[in-house]
Structure 1
Amino acid sequence: MRKQPQRQISLNGLKVWRLQNGIISLIFLLIIIGVFVASYYLHWPYWIGAILTGLWVLQVVFGIWLIPKIRHRIWRYEVFENEIEIQHGLIRVTRVIVPMVRVQHVDTSQGPLLRRYRLASVQISTAATVHDIPALELEEADELRDYISRLARVTEDDV
């Protein structure tokens, strides 16, 4: 069996994932507050809000602290001369090998949170799918994009 890819995404990616999940938690908390207000005025049972609060606490613990840490530990990639190997997943770990001859184009992208931490994601497009390597340092993402692009061109010229 092949050993797992060696390169990991940035540690700042962990911060971004936690911040994203924190924003989702905040929205969920506002909904819970709305349910408690509705319970007061519409005389709904309070246990609905209590159950939602318990789910919110679980979501905060797992979504902000545990899951991003596990995702960061599992997310790996490596670029070889003839292929790109990507490993990701949380419960079911997936390892994908993308042959260089299949690569059509490579992009980098940034959302506001990635930009804040000087990170970017690399998207590798083939005819059938798009593979994503999230949360790389901006310079590393640019270098990786250019490197894969060069390798894909060389491989295409060899065919």
Structure 2
Amino acid sequence: MNAYMTNGTLDFLKKLPAKHPDVTFYFMKEGTSTLVYYEGKGKNIFASGRAYEIVTENGTLREDGFVVMNNIPVADEGKATFEDKFKQRQQSVENMKGFQAFRLLRPNKGNTYVVMTQWASEDDYENWKNSDQFKQAHKDGADTKPPAYFLDQPFVTNYHMIEVD
């Protein structure tokens, strides 16, 4: 299964469901930036979008909630190790209050993976970040430099799901 996303203006992007009625689009907003995401097996319908393979997933995406995307540039020689760490890690996040969905997305082009989680609310995400489960899941990265297979500093983008008319 693949995942696709693109950014643009809300006025332009909200025309997509009418053009592609068979696709379930998820609309997200961060400040003035709008992002549209969908999953499928076919060709990318976005002219200037990003395409990913879904490596691992849990939960069901919803049209409401809060989305956190950790963008992690990984060197080619480190991709297998990076993916294995996620596959072996016990995903205690799934048991947290407000958890909705998790996706590990491998880029079809480039080296930046996306680790996406969706929460019922921003407060639920903050509660996860302050939990013992979060500390346990991230203990290997605490107070150390990023692994050698990270090409650059990871960065996080947060979005609020929005409904479009």
TM-score, normalised via structure 2 length: 0.23
Identify, as 1 or 2, the structure richer in strand: 2
Q: Per chain length, whose mean CA-contact separation is higher, i.e. which structure has more relative contact order (CA < 8 Å, sep 6+)? A: 2
Tell which structure's C-alpha radius of gyration is larger: 1
Identify, as 1 or 2, the structure richer in helix: 1
